[in-house]
Amino acid sequence: MRFELLQGKGRLDSYRQTTGGVATTTLVSDTKPGLALVRATVGGLADTVTVRYVAGGPASISVVADSSSLPADGVTMTHVRAYVYDVSGNPVADGTVVTFEADLGHITERAQTQDGVAQAQFSGSQTGVATIVARAGGVVGETTVVLRPGPPNSVLISCDPKSVGVKDSGRNQTLRITADVRDSRNNAVADGTYVRFEIVASPGGGETLSTYDPVPTVNGKAEVSFTSGIRSGAVRVRAVVTDSLGQALTPEVSSTATEFLIFAGPPYIEDVTDASTSHLTVGARPVNVYGWHVVNNTVEIVAVVGDKYNNPVPPGTAVYFTTTGGVISTYTGYTDEEGVAKVTLHTGQPYPTVERYYNTFLDPNLHITIPGPVPDFDLDGNENDGIARVLAVTEGVDSKGNSARVWAVCNVVFSGDITTFTVSTDRTVLHPGESATISIVVHDINGNPIVPGSVISAKASAGELSWDRFRTDDPGSDFYSVQLTNNLDPTDPNAKPTATPVTIKIESENGNVQASTVPIQLLID
């Protein structure tokens, strides 16, 4: 039998003998996609077959971006193309899936080839060099695109440390001032952006900057050093973005530093007769602790202390704490760099009472009783036992420069086991769309609320509740409510009147309790 190639390229054995009436030959394809027409003849008989040459699977991939550099504005985009070829250098078949990923910015995740090319779009809002990787089959290609910052838009000034001492004070006399220059997308500006620093307010004691010439940025930051003189007080330094000659840009991009001090001042109270002018604040976390006749539950007591200029007082400033209930483990706390001092209050004897609230300690300056009132959570008109008052006090000065005690007080609720728990409704019959208010009263023997994080849940077999579960906040309340609404549809032929109680369940350190209202009738007319 004779085989011959009538159309297309390739090679085959032309003459083959039959075996069992069948003759075979091997067609070796061309290196390019296309068609081949093969004819077989024997005697006076002939037949043809068409063979299609197709591209092979991905063997190589080349990735090209239209733009090698983009502004990092999150808007500007560039096309990224992946050219995918088989082992013979032919474009792969249409519809071959190519995946894209970038280690910076955003890119189309998947695309299909057409004529061997898959196309994606790339953009980014963060500066840097983005590596873009394209994958098809088992082959990988990559390219890079630079995301460059925009023009200067803002300047943030910081200093380290936060304060200095005057000359020969024994404290650090020099601090570093840093201007962090950003574009409109909060990216660091390009290196070499110039910033000029200038002192705009100071005590006038010979303060200096290390240079008054424009300073180029590195990684978006420019730095100078500030050295104090012989006078204490507040200092303000301005940073302005300029050209290389020191001329401010138009429009101006500048910032005035947050005021810092030479020699941070002592704790401050403006007027010793007015506790509200104290620059010391004290608070508790949590405000409400399970502590009435409970031993060694703990509360963090935090005091924040400022000087005359509302700067944190120097680290290590001593703050003294005392309480009308329980025990404070460390009588003295010391401020950190943020002016914060912390101690721990442990529940235990003496347990707080109204009498102890007023009589345990006096106003540290005036030596008179510190006024109340003690909280009345249950609104019975009487001040509650179970409320501890905590005093934090430190030595400082008043507005005249005289020595004074800077102080503040806060309350801590020592709540106990639940002794009062009632659930009631203001209505027992509801027509469609009407609501009943379910009132919940819960407190301990002193009328104080349950601790924060207690879970109150509501349940009804019919109708719609305004809530079904929540956690109490701090310090909490003695009174809660939930609404039950009749949501029956009078036009629904399957709707039937019904009745349901509302069941309230409380899960708390103060105890677990449950109660229900009387059944509430839900009518359909």
pLDDT tens-place string over residues 198-216: 999 998 888 999 999 999 9
Give the C-alpha separation, 90 to 93, whole Å. Answer: 9
Q: Identify the band that residue 422 occupies on the pLDDT scale cut at 50, 70 and 90.
A: very high
Whether the upstream peptide bond of residue 151 has omega within 30° of 0, thus cis, is: no
The CA–CA distances, whole Å, from 58 to 83, 103, 196, 492 equal 10, 24, 56, 64
Q: Is the pLDDT of residue 31 over 80?
A: no
Assess whether pLDDT exceeds 90 at residue 256.
Answer: no
Q: Report the pLDDT averaged over residues 501-509.
A: 98
What global pTM score does this model have?
Answer: 0.56
418-522 is a CATH 2.60.40.10 domain: yes
Q: Are 472 and 450 in contact (CB under 8 A)?
A: yes
Contacts of residue 342, defined as CB under 8 A and 6 or more positions apart, other chains included, come to: 300, 301, 302, 303, 333
Q: Which residue has the higher pLDDT, 228 or 502?
A: 502
Q: Which tokens belong to 125?
A: 């809002």
Give the per-residue pLDDT at 428: 97
pLDDT given for residue 196 in this prediction: 95
pLDDT tens-place string over residues 9-22:
888 888 888 888 89
Residue 341 scores a pLDDT above 80? yes
Report the chain's mean pLDDT, rounded to a whole number: 93
Tell me what pLDDT residue 258 has.
Answer: 63
pLDDT at 47 over 90: no
Contacts of 283 (CB under 8 A, 6+ apart): 301, 302, 410
Confidence of residue 171 (pLDDT cuts 50, 70, 90): low
Mean pLDDT, residues 436-459 taken together: 98
The tokens of 385 are what?
A: 């036992």
Nearest to 481 by CA among 456, 461, 498: 456
Q: What is the dihedral of CA 377, 383, 388, 394, to 10 degrees?
A: 110
The rounded distance, in Å, linking the Cα atoms of 282 and 104 is 45
Residue 523: count of CB within 10 angstroms of its CB:
15
Taking only the tens place, the pLDDT of each residue in 388-400 is 999 999 999 898 8
Is the distance from CB of 392 to CB of 320 less than 8 angstroms? yes
For 154-262, CATH number out of 2.60.40.10, 3.20.20.10, 2.30.30.100, 3.40.50.12280 equals: 2.60.40.10
Q: At residue 328, does pLDDT exceed 90?
A: yes
Confidence band (pLDDT; 50, 70, 90) for 8?
confident
Residues of the chain with CATH 2.60.40.10: 60-148, 154-262, 275-415, 418-522
Q: Which pLDDT score, from 0 to 100, does residue 76 have?
A: 93
φ/ψ of 44, rounded to 5, equals -100, 15
Pure H helices in 354-395: 354-359
pLDDT (mean) for 304-330: 90
Using the predicted structure, report yes or no on whether residue 232 has a pLDDT greater than 80. Answer: no
Question: Could you tell me which CATH class the domain 275-415 is placed in?
Answer: mainly beta
Q: CATH number of the domain at 60-148, please? A: 2.60.40.10
pLDDT digits (tens, 9 = 90+) for 96-114: 999 999 999 999 999 999 9
